[in-house]
Chain A
Amino acid sequence: MSEQKKTFVVTRFDPDQDAAPRQQSYEVPVQPDWKVLDALNYIKDEIDPTLSHRWSCRMAVCGSCGMMVNGKPSLTCKDACADYGDRVEVAPLANFPIVRDLVVELEAFLEKLRSVKPYILVAKERAVEEGTYRQSPEQLEEFKQFSLCINCMLCYAACPVVANEPEFLGPAAIALGHRYNMDSRDEGQHERNEIFRGEGTVFSCSYANECSEVCPKHVDPAAAINQAKFNAVIDWLSGFVTSRGGK
């Protein structure tokens, strides 16, 4: 197999040593079928063991390896080195605080995720003996796409609102909240719609659509957010028409 030498310019940052992130170049003999992650692993194994990055499944399903490659959010186990030229810049995910090298702080996402109550909410728990809910394939289709989110956070790196408004819930969290709202088994739409109208409001989204452009799993969070806006408004209006009883 013919290999090709490429230069990888990688962001480095050790908070105990560096005042600010810096860049370091590595010459990597790239094999034709390598993904960017393979090159990073080569650097770590053979050239510079001090490079820190997150990865696990290497098959685009665990969501660990999101980084900026040549200025664009990329799932590095999915993007081929062959798609890039001789110089490849690898940086940590945009819009996140940087912990070390290519590793970013993820806690804020988990807080946002938790806040949308991403679980089935029902007034009365269904007993196991009653068996599974009936859900038609059409009902499944309504939310299935949004359940495919692997939490890679490329959408957060792409979103201009995330970059400017720290309280914004963000594409993935809203998509996952909306996934439960559209699940026929769930009864928690009102609660979640209140959250969607709250501090992290979905209405901060101005439909840049960048999130959907970068999503490696075709979740289309932009669609989810804008559907959620619709639902949030209907939910607000129906509050004047119906009485919602005691909760």
Chain B
Amino acid sequence: MARPVNPHAMTPSRPGRTRTAPPQAPNGWYAQPRMLRYLLFDATGIVYLLVGFVALRVVWALGSGPAAWAELMRQLRNPLYVAFHLLALVCVVFVAVRFFRLFPKAQPGHIGPAKPPPGPVILAGLYAAWIGVTLVVTAILAGWVLR
């Protein structure tokens, strides 16, 4: 039938003069496809946190000399690490697509005298920037430039 939510949800500062039943959400509310996608969107934060830890390890190794660096690179070739990074890539794409979709309508009508460009332009700009930056970083890391 229903499951409880925060018992103080939508409760007025001065409670009404009759007894009320606590606020509820319907069963299966959080299991709906749209809601699951949103929860997943928020949950990917954990993945980025872990990616951040890996990045810290890389930086640490960078400052600890060539031996440490080689050791770290060997560890990172472990299939589990590769799988984790692939998962992280999927999460980033998922989040980026959703975020980009929602971003244009989050632009206020004007900021001072400036008006934002139309939605499709913003969308195109976001994808262009994302793909562009990805290409540049890939080029640097793969050694095609700056080496």
Asked if A and B form a direct contact in the complex, defined as CB atoms under 8 angstroms apart, the reply is yes
Residue numbers of A with Cβ under 8 A of B are 11, 13, 15, 20-21, 23, 68, 71-72, 91, 94-100, 104-105, 107-109, 111, 141-143, 156, 160, 162-166, 182, 206-210, 213, 220, 222-223, 226-231, 234
Question: B109 — which chain A residues lie within 8 A by C-beta?
Answer: 141-143, 182, 227
Chain B residues within CB distance 8 Å of chain A: 1-2, 5-6, 8-14, 16, 18-30, 34-35, 38, 42, 102, 105-111
In the complex, residue of chain A having the shortest beta-carbon distance to the beta carbon of B20: A97
Complexed CA–CA distance, A143 and B105 (Å): 13
Are A209 and B102 touching (Cβ within 8 A)? yes
Assess A99 versus B16: contact at CB under 8 Å? Given A160-B35, A210-B35, A223-B106.
Answer: yes
Q: Do B106 and A20 touch across chains, with their CB atoms under 8 A apart? A: no
Q: Are A234 and B111 in contact (CB under 8 A)?
A: yes
B17 to chain A, nearest CB (A): 10
Instruction: Please list 28 pairs of residues, one from A and one from B, whose beta carbons are closer than 8 Å in the complex, sorted by A's number.
Output: A21-B2, A21-B21, A23-B1, A71-B28, A91-B1, A95-B23, A96-B10, A97-B10, A105-B10, A105-B12, A105-B20, A108-B13, A111-B12, A111-B13, A141-B109, A142-B109, A160-B38, A164-B5, A165-B6, A166-B8, A166-B10, A182-B109, A210-B38, A222-B102, A226-B105, A230-B107, A230-B108, A230-B111
Q: Are A105 and B16 in contact (CB under 8 A)?
A: yes
A231→B108 contact, CB < 8 A: yes
Collect the chain B residues with CB atoms within 8 Å of residue A72's CB: 26
Kindly list chain A residues whose C-beta atoms are within 8 Å of the C-beta of B16.
97, 99, 105, 107
Are A15 and B8 CB-contacts (below 8 A) given A160-B38, A206-B42, A227-B108?
A: no
Contact present for A97 and B23 (CB under 8 Å): yes
| 4 extra A-B contacts, CB within 8 A, seeds A98-B22, A141-B109 | A15-B21, A95-B24, A107-B16, A210-B38
Chain B residue nearest to A178 in the complex (CB)? B108
Closest 5 CB pairs of A and B: A226-B106, A142-B109, A107-B12, A71-B26, A97-B20
Enumerate chain B residues within 8 angstroms of A143, measured Cβ to Cβ.
109
Given contacts A97-B20, A99-B18, A210-B34, contact A163 B106 (CB under 8 A): no
C-alpha gap A97/B34 in the complex (Å): 25
Residues of B within 8 A of A11 (CB): 1
